[in-house]
A and B are shown apart, each in its own frame.
Chain A
Amino acid sequence: MFHQLATLDRLDQRFGRTVVALVCAGFLAVLLAGAVAAYVMGRSEEQTDWVNHTFEVERHAGAIRLALEELRSARRGELLGLQGSSGASYAQAWAHPMAEIDTVARLTRDNPRQQAQLAEMHRRAQTLDRLMRSSGHGGVAGTAIGEPVRQQAAQAVEESAERVLSLEQGLLRVRIAKQGELVAIFYLVLAVAGTLLLGVAFASIMVILRYTRDLTRTRDDLRTLNANLESLVGERTQDLQRANDEIQRFAYIVSHDLRAPLVNVMGFTAELEASLKSLEGLLDEVERDTPALVGAGTGAEARDAVRLDLPEAIGFIRTSTHKMDRLINAILRLSREGRRTITPEPVMLAPLLVGVVDGIRHLVDERGAQVTIAQPMPTIVSDRLALEQILSNLIENALKYLSPARPGDIRISARQERGRTVIAVADNGRGIDPRDHERVFELFRRSGAQDQPGEGIGLAHVRALAYRLGGTIRVESALDQGATFLVDLPNQFSSEKDAVT
């Protein structure tokens, strides 16, 4: 039972610890996943910004090429005198690519390689511009000679733009790859956290299942144990009951069988006494008629035998058999008391005690003692007759062993606590030596000066009755300090048989 309880405690502790650890692990996993997700999201956003930036750069770089085309067509238009066909003069067209170059330069300020490229492009654009402008104002000859040079310059600017574009595209690839990596990391972390969570959940479920299983097993064990315990108690009670019954029967048989020979001893002693009477008559006659016959020798011995020895022997046999008779009767009474069925009923102690004291009023008056019954007295459910016997025995005992030094004062009180009633019979008599406190309750044992009649049965009887009522009795006393007998009884008598079932 205790082992089982200890197991339960250990189970609880282990279960608590494991569950806390698992919950912590779960929280950690979720926290980790959240942190990583936040980090990855941040990085990803950054990368998206960069990608967008790259697209912007690309757009503007593309715009440079378009602007250059526009520039060339504007120039061609100007040369052919088709002013207004493209809607813009060369000077206007020129501002456009330059603005785009500046924008790209501004956008790629963090990239030294692009800056270098752009500076180169700027330079080449300036060269182109110079060539264009010079051709525009230099006439047809200039135009014819300058055309391949201008083509070259324009080519150079375009190449620059191309290079800027390709650089930016390279960057874009790197950035997209990086973003992909981040997404991959994000998914990986998610997967790891998910796995972790799944693991925690699985472990939790396993732990709970195991705990529940252990709990169920322990509970089953406890239940079996409990059932066993109950049947064990039942068996023991039955054993005790049987042993008790056996002792009762034994005492009964023994006392009966002891009585049979005793009847003979007493009977033939009586016969002997009757025979002795006739012998005494004969002796009287002889003494009167022929005194010489019993004066000396065998005659004198015979006279002594008839007059002294035989009566003395018969006297001893008689007192002994009487005593034995009383003892046997005592055993018989005890055993009969043990066989009597207890009939519990509500008993008001106050009227019961008044009845008991009235029953021995003559003794109380004879001893000149005072008996006080403290009020109030409780009511208990018990056997009335047994209670009467217990209390009258105790009060009689108190009266019997009063101290000659002071007037007898006997106080009876009762208190109830925790389902039990303790009845105290206190006297101011001669008291009992603490060494004899146990002895006085034993059969045929007495204590102190043996100046009162009795066989040492009363208290043994009282104790047997108290036990039968499911109670106990003890004494508190010191020599010449009075004695208090405490009878401890259940408020509600329940028979052993009820207790078993």
Chain B
Amino acid sequence: MTRDQPVNIVMIEDDEGHARLIERNIRRAGIRNEIHHFLDGGRALQFLFEDPRGPALNGPSLVLLDLNLPDMSGLDILARIKADASPLKRTPVVVLTTTDDRQEIQRCYDMGCNVYITKPVNYESFADAIRQLGLFLSVIQVPEPEA
């Protein structure tokens, strides 16, 4: 995953507990990349597209996205990232949410989501899933954002 520039992980997750558990389990999988955590969609979008340290202006990144956000739907963020004119349209997006509604899943993939993961309720499976996600993240290749 690391080449010239380290890949940043942007985590958009309104539940702080979930965020903490996700971070811990990713770290347990041996991932040491920086994780930027946002509790709402607005600030996340601002960081993604405008922040000098954000992915649009600064190196490759990977987005962990929850669909249930307080200020907007995760689908809106997904649409913004995957829009034709977006510099981040090749940035991998992992949707990590509680919903396992089939239509919702289909919609996410239609909109360009790369991986869709339902958070298991059972904590052991949850931790397991996140650790596996960490292992997965450690092997995938992430493209550079478009200039």
Within 8 A of B (CB), among A221-276: 252, 256-257, 259-264, 266-271
Chain A proximity mask over B103-147: 1 for CB below 8 Å, otherwise 0: 000000000000000010111101100000000000000000000
Chain B residues near A252 (CB-CB < 8 A) = 101
Given contacts A259-B121, A270-B127, contact A264 B98 (CB under 8 A): no
Chain B residue at minimal CB-CB distance from A255? B98
Chain A residues near B101 (CB-CB < 8 A) = 252
**Chain B residues within 8 Å of chain A by Cβ, number:** 16
Chain A residues near B21 (CB-CB < 8 A) = 263-264, 267-268, 271
- Contact (Cβ within 8 A) B17 A262: no
- Contact (Cβ within 8 A) A325 B127: no
A interface, by DSSP: helix, strand, loop or mixed? helix
- Contact (Cβ within 8 A) A263 B119: yes
Within 8 A of A (CB), among B56-111: 68, 98-99, 101
B50 located at the interface, meaning its Cβ lies under 8 Å from any Cβ of chain A in the complex? no
Given contacts A256-B98, A270-B127, contact A264 B122 (CB under 8 A): no
Chain B residues near A266 (CB-CB < 8 A) = 121-123, 126
Chain A residues near B126 (CB-CB < 8 A) = 263, 266-267
Assign chain A's interface to a size class: 10 to 19
- Contact (Cβ within 8 A) A263 B99: no
B34 located at the interface, meaning its Cβ lies under 8 Å from any Cβ of chain A in the complex? no
Chain A residue at minimal CB-CB distance from B25? A267
Most buried by A among B24, B119, B123: B123
Chain B residue at minimal CB-CB distance from A252? B101
Chain B residue at minimal CB-CB distance from A256? B98
Chain B residues near A257 (CB-CB < 8 A) = 68, 98
Q: List 28 A-B contacts (CB under 8 A).
A: A252-B101, A256-B98, A257-B98, A259-B98, A260-B15, A260-B18, A260-B68, A260-B98, A261-B15, A263-B17, A263-B21, A263-B119, A263-B121, A263-B123, A263-B126, A264-B17, A264-B18, A264-B21, A266-B121, A266-B122, A267-B18, A267-B123, A268-B17, A268-B21, A270-B123, A270-B124, A325-B121, A329-B121
Closest 6 CB pairs of A and B: A264-B17, A266-B123, A267-B21, A267-B123, A270-B123, A259-B98
Please report A residues at the B interface, Cβ cutoff 8 Å.
252, 256-257, 259-264, 266-271, 325, 328-329
